[in-house]
């Protein structure tokens, strides 16, 4: 390219004839393009340019004034075609692909409520859901804990119009404290929260945690007092405890509905469902089904057939063949599957379905949108991926001379490095969240990689390179990976219960600390007489004043000052070699490498004990 504006050309000046034909070109003015417009051979133009003292080849750009002079020579008028404003960009300006159009009131139609069941672990949430769904999933679960957010839609007769079936969608959030991240999301996409409290236990820590999430999301709360059939059930206690937390029962003059139910006997469940339907009618829940779908990912995972995501449609209708984008992943919907494993053609507002067809595993809680075509989706996904990558690059800490020493000190601290693999994105996040809570001064935890899927060779090599361990939750090890792990010396631990995983990680972190060394004095003896041996060396004739003197480590004190530490060479009682001598007895002691003992010295025998350091 001709750099900058060339010097004003010298050489002949041509005048443009009156009424000349106008030639227009967009800048940059390339010699070849100008020659085409003038119907001349490019080499002819190059010769003319040389005459004008301008050096340019066929593919280079020339200045506007030069182009005008060349055109004048051949009887044409030259004009520069002005670009449109913003037309300088190579691509047409992208229109924002995710503008969320406001729906007109007349387009809105009534939708089913989305209900989240929350509460303390073991308070019977899953049993309650099972009774609602008339199926029993809970019995096969490890430790009775719901490991994934499930989503189920049921139909129930309307309390006032019995012939009319009303739909309700339930989200089941796990009750374990470590799943609080998922639970928070459960509360954000929900319309009504059912807070389950066991009548025999009352309010527990996670009940309060769930209550805080529901209140933060400003969602109406219905309290279900479960296990009312339990012999130790105390319904009044649960009501009392919740009233103290600001949930005043409606029959006590408050505005919170309390329903007494039993997940096992199914007592009170129809009443609970009727209250849900009436509450949702009061809320006037509406959405426009006739638009491109938008909603949230409830759960995601990696199945043998590829990534899957359970999505809750908030508005619009999601259909097979739609192009969806979620974070940096996109794809064409290959199949929609409901909780009964049936394939659907479409899913309207408030319906939860499993989607196949994404090109990656999105995080739970992310929003998804349907795009007009796959090109727009791909471009947006790529730009988001680029953004995420550049943010990650910025986050990497840079070493300067000032922070070098701090960095070195940090590196000398004990670090347990782990790779976390689980079957679903929700579990991965919950585990990472729970592990990050284990912050200790002396030991830090570094999660070098966390993802959905089976444990692969790549994970082993990563753990091997960073001297870490691999934790698997509800997942398996790929074929042949165990052998590679053995060869690389990488430990792989598989768990199906989250409590065990977290406890064992704590133990491992404690194991990294240097043991605490304690010296325990077991006894002392006073030197009463020194005997010289014919073959050289001394023996101290002693009396054991306290405890016992055993063979092993000893220290010699003279007038309460330490003068030597070492080992016993011999310990004799009369002529016999013994292992220990107890208090009040006499003995002869020789110290290895020390012969300067004096009468009145005290010999202390001690043991070194190692204790595991506590975090």
Both 477 and 442 in a single domain? Answer: yes
pTM for the structure as a whole: 0.53
**Token output for 73:** 């020579």
Tell me if 182 sits within 8 A of 171, measured CB to CB. no
197 and 276 housed in the same domain:
yes
- Asked if residue 68 lies in contact with residue 25, where contact means CB atoms within 8 angstroms, the answer is no
Residues 151 and 124 placed together within one structural domain of the fold: yes
Query: Is residue 92, in this structure, part of any structural domain at all?
Result: no
Pick from 351, 369, 391: which residue ends a domain? 391
Domain ranges, residue 542: 516-611
- Pair 349, 458 in one domain: no
Handedness of CA 49, 52, 55, 61 (dihedral sign): negative
Q: What is the DSSP string of 49-102?
A: HHHTT----TTSEE-HHHHHHHHHHTTEEEEEPPPPTTTTSSSPPPPPTT--PP
Closest-CA residue to 273 (of 134, 438, 142): 134
Give CA–CA dist 97/376, Å, rounded: 7
Residue identified by tokens 């002691």 is: 589
**Same-domain status, 298 and 350:** yes
Residues 319/346, Cβ–Cβ less than 8 Å? yes
In angstroms, rounded to a whole number, what is the distance separating the alpha carbons of residues 434 and 174? 14
Q: Is residue 97 part of a domain?
A: no
Q: Looking at residue 398, what is its pLDDT?
A: 54
Based on the fold, state whether residues 130 and 276 are members of the same structural domain.
Answer: yes
Residues 137 and 268 in one domain: yes
For residue 397, the model assigns a pLDDT of: 53
DSSP state at residue 508:
H
Number of other residues whose CB lies within 10 A of the CB of residue 118? 27
Residues 6+ positions from 157 with CB-CB distance below 8 Å = 163, 164, 165, 166
Residue at 496 is within a domain? yes
Q: Classify residue 278: in a domain, yes or no.
A: yes
Residue 299: name the closest of 351, 348, 210, 362 by CA: 362
Task: Report pLDDT digits (tens) over 130-142.
Answer: 777 764 333 344 3
- Domain assignment of residue 187, yes or no: yes
CATH code at position 359: 2.40.30.10
d(CA 429, CA 126): 21
Residue 118 counted as domain residue: yes
| Contact predicate 604/544, CB 8 Å | no
The pair of structure tokens assigned to 557 is 């004190």
Cis peptide before 55 (omega within 30 of 0): no
Query: Do 197 and 260 sit in the same domain of this protein?
Result: yes
Tell me, yes or no, whether 128 lies in a domain.
yes
Identify the CATH number of the domain in which residue 461 sits: 3.40.50.10050
Q: pLDDT per residue over 534-591, tens digit each?
A: 887 889 999 999 999 998 899 999 988 889 998 998 999 988 899 989 999 999 999 9
Q: Report the length, in residues, of the chain.
A: 615
For residues 279 and 328, state if they share a domain. no
Coil, helix or strand at residue 506? helix
pLDDT at 602: 94
Of 265, 286, 307, the domain-final residue? 286
Same domain membership, residue 171 and residue 33: no
Q: Are 508 and 469 in contact (CB under 8 A)?
A: yes
Using alpha carbons, select from 172, 152, 167 the residue that is nearest to residue 340: 152
Count of domains in the chain? Answer: 5
Is 366 part of any domain? yes
Alpha-carbon distance of 88 to 321, in angstroms, equals 36
Identify whether residues 566 and 579 lie together within a single domain. Answer: yes
**Rounded distance between C-alpha atoms, residue 160 and residue 272, angstroms:** 14
Domain boundary among 486, 512, 538: 512
Contact assessment for residue 455 and residue 482, using Cβ atoms and an 8 Å cutoff? no
Q: Please tell me the distance from the alpha carbon of residue 570 to that of residue 333, in angstroms, as a whole number.
A: 84
Give me the residues of the chain with pLDDT under 70, please.
1-15, 17, 82-103, 121-123, 134-150, 172-188, 216-217, 392-413, 438-442, 512, 613-615
For 107, 465, 506, the CA distances from 445, given in Å and listed in that order, are 52, 16, 10
User: Which H or E element spans position 166?
Assistant: strand 165-172
Looking at the fold, whether 121 and 266 belong to one and the same domain comes out as yes
């Amino acid at each position: 390219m001709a750099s900058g504006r060339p010097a004003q050309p010298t050489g002949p000046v041509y005048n443009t004839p009156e009424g000349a034909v106008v030639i227009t070109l967009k800048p940059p003015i390339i010699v070849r393009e100008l020659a085409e417009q003038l119907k001349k051979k490019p080499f002819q133009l190059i010769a003319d340019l040389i005459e004008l003292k301008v050096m340019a080849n066929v593919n280079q750009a020339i200045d506007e004034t030069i182009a005008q002079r060349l055109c004048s020579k051949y009887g044409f008028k030259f004009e520069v075609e002005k670009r449109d404003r913003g037309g300088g960009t190579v691509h047409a300006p992208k229109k924002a692909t995710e503008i969320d159009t406001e729906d007109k009131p007349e387009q809105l139609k009534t939708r089913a409520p989305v209900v989240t069941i929350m509460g303390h672990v073991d308070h019977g949430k899953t049993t309650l859901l099972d009774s609602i769904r008339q199926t029993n999933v809970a019995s096969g679960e490890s430790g009775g804990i719901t490991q994934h957010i499930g989503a189920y839609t049921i139909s129930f007769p309307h309390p006032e119009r019995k012939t009319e079936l009303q739909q309700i969608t339930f989200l089941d959030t796990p009750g374990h404290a470590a799943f609080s991240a998922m639970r928070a999301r459960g509360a954000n996409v929900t319309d009504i929260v059912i807070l389950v409290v066991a009548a025999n236990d009352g309010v527990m820590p996670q009940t309060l945690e769930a209550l805080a999430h529901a209140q933060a999301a400003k969602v109406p709360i219905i309290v279900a007092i479960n296990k009312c059939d339990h012999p130790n059930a105390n319904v009044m206690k649960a009501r009392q405890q919740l009233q103290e937390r600001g949930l005043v029962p409606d029959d006590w003059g408050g505005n919170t509905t309390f329903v007494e139910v039993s997940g096992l006997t199914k007592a009170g469940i129809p009443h609970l469902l009727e209250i849900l339907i009436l509450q949702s009618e009061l809320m006037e829940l509406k959405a426009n089904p006739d638009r491109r779908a938008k909603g949230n990912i409830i759960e995601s995972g990696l199945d043998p057939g590829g990534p899957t995501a359970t999505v809750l449609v908030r508005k619009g209708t999601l259909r097979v063949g739609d192009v969806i984008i979620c974070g940096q992943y996109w794809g064409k919907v290959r199949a929609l599957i409901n909780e009964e494993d049936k394939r659907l053609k479409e899913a309207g507002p408030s319906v939860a379905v499993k989607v196949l067809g994404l090109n990656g595993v999105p995080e739970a809680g992310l929003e998804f949108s349907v795009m007009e075509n796959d090109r727009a989706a791909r471009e947006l996904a790529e730009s988001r991926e680029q953004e995420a990558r550049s943010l990650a690059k910025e986050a990497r800490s840079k070493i300067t001379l000032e922070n070098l020493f701090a960095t070195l000190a940090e590196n000398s601290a004990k670090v347990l490095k782990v790779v976390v693999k689980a079957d679903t994105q929700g579990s991965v996040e919950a585990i990472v969240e729970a592990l990050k809570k284990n912050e200790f001064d002396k030991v830090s935890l570094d999660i070098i990689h966390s993802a959905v899927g089976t444990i692969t060779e790549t994970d082993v090599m990563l753990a091997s390179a960073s001297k870490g361990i691999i934790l698997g939750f509800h997942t398996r090890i790929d074929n042949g990976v165990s052998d590679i792990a053995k060869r690389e010396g990488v430990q792989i631990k598989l768990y199906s219960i989250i409590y065990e995983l977290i406890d064992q990680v704590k133990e491992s972190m404690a194991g990294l600390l240097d043991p605490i060394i304690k010296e325990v004095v077991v006894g002392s003896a006073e030197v009463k007489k020194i005997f010289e041996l014919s073959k050289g060396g001394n023996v101290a004739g002693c009396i054991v004043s306290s405890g016992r003197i055993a063979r092993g480590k000893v220290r010699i004190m003279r007038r309460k000052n330490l003068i030597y530490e070492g080992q016993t060479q011999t310990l004799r009682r009369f002529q016999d070699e013994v292992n220990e001598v107890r208090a009040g007895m006499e003995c002869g002691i020789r110290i290895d490498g020390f012969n300067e003992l004096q009468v009145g010295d005290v010999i202390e025998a001690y043991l070194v004990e190692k204790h595991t350091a506590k975090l």
